[in-house]
Amino acid sequence: MTTGGTAALVRRPDGSTRATLLELLFDVVFVASLALTSTLLAGHHSWSGGAMVLLMLTAIWWTWSVTSTTTEFYDPQQRPIQLILMVAMVGSVGMAASLPMVSDGHAMVFAISYVGTHVIRGIVLVTSLHRQRHRSAMIRAIRFLFWFVVSGVFWITGAVSGTVNWGLWTIAITIDLVSAAARYPTPRVGRVPLDQYERTTGHLGERYQQFVILALGDIILVPTLQVSKGELAGLRVTALFGAFAMMLLLWQVYVFRAGELLEAGAGPKSGRPARLAPYTHLVMLVGVVGTAASFDLVVTRPTGTTPVGWLILIMGGPALFVIGRILFTLLISMVVPWRRMFWLPLPLLALPWAGKWPPVLVTAVVALGLAGHVLSPGAVRETTPGLRMRRSDD
């Protein structure tokens, strides 16, 4: 039920940790953006094209991450927060629609969609909290707004000519990432206090898990759309089932292991997971997009030789997802899953010959390595109650 006004805009510690239906709709809109990003990467799998897609993917992810942090700190049942979610959805649609045309004179659409989402969110929060006279929460919102205005100058300036100035956009996204890592240091009001990160509830862990699960669906969605455009040949269908197997393997890597850390870290001393999750999950998300893009290519041509660009996507996508998950486990609980990490570089042993293999065979080799990683013993002990610091020989 929606509550009128701005009463109790800041989430109560004893409030519900369940995601609202509007938050779930918000996730679906963003996952659609990821599917378009994967398709774009499949068509631009050079180093320069990959860097371009990575920058825009980071902007899309950062919009989701900051907005989800907003619904963690503020009550998503309140009208101002629901308005923020709706604005973020509109911004996501604008970024997604302009993705394929960013280099063709539509850079300003992407920039305005991104900057507008963050600036409008800040204005809504500051004005609502000012009326409510909630000073500490208002100052928090001011910090976020200040830095998104600063980076927004570079986003907009980099798109003014119609042709993207990738240098300015790189500065802009760097400002967004670094200012968050530094807890938004702002003139006269300082940085976000650590105790505001430590009031994280199980809601945030649930939000990350829900989003990653939906994002993993793109690994099967993107190649399915590609297969539906042509003939249902045997090897194309085989590649499609390979995508399904890869999706399930990555799902096990995340849901049964790394996702538990966010939930285990809720409550006291939970600030570290909340601060690190956006960065480690970005690595996982790049892995998902790369994997989906690789299967988009493989189902198109499952036979013949495998180009170098394809090899990077086929092997690098799942590897990045696993690396992101290991980094999150390591940075939060200081547990290194050595036994499972042994499987990670094994597919690389086939690299000298993989270029001469058909793409569908290369994906099978990567899937076998990932299966060994998932099924390796000792993995169930990677998290510890309360995120206590300890070592592991596994």
Q: What is the mean pLDDT of residues 143-166?
A: 94
- DSSP, residue by residue, 198-247: TT--HHHHHHHHHHHHHHHTHHHHHHHHHHTTS---HHHHHHHHHHHHHH
Q: What is the mean pLDDT of residues 139-158?
A: 96
pLDDT tens profile 100-135: 888 777 899 999 999 999 999 999 999 999 988 888
pTM metric for this prediction: 0.88
d(CA 316, CA 46): 13
**Token pair belonging to 184:** 């938004």
- Whole-number pLDDT of residue 172: 97
Q: Does position 386 have pLDDT exceeding 70, yes or no?
A: no
pLDDT tens profile 16-35: 777 888 898 889 888 888 99
- Whole-number pLDDT of residue 110: 94
d(CA 265, CA 151): 31
Output the average pLDDT for the chain: 84
**Percentage of the chain with pLDDT > 70?**
86
Q: Does position 260 have pLDDT exceeding 80, yes or no?
A: no
Q: H or E segment at 66?
A: helix 47-73
**Residue 144 binned pLDDT confidence (cut-offs 50, 70, 90):** very high
Q: Does position 315 have pLDDT exceeding 80, yes or no?
A: yes
- Whole-number pLDDT of residue 204: 82
- Whole-number pLDDT of residue 261: 52
- Whole-number pLDDT of residue 337: 67
Q: Does position 226 have pLDDT exceeding 50, yes or no?
A: yes
d(CA 298, CA 246): 13
**Token pair belonging to 81:** 């927060």
- DSSP, residue by residue, 316-355: HHHHHHHHHHHHHHHHHH----HHHHTTTTGGGGGHHHHT
Q: What is the mean pLDDT of residues 77-100?
A: 92
- Whole-number pLDDT of residue 394: 35
Q: Are 41 and 309 in contact (CB under 8 A)?
A: no
pLDDT tens profile 265-291: 444 455 677 788 899 999 999 999 999
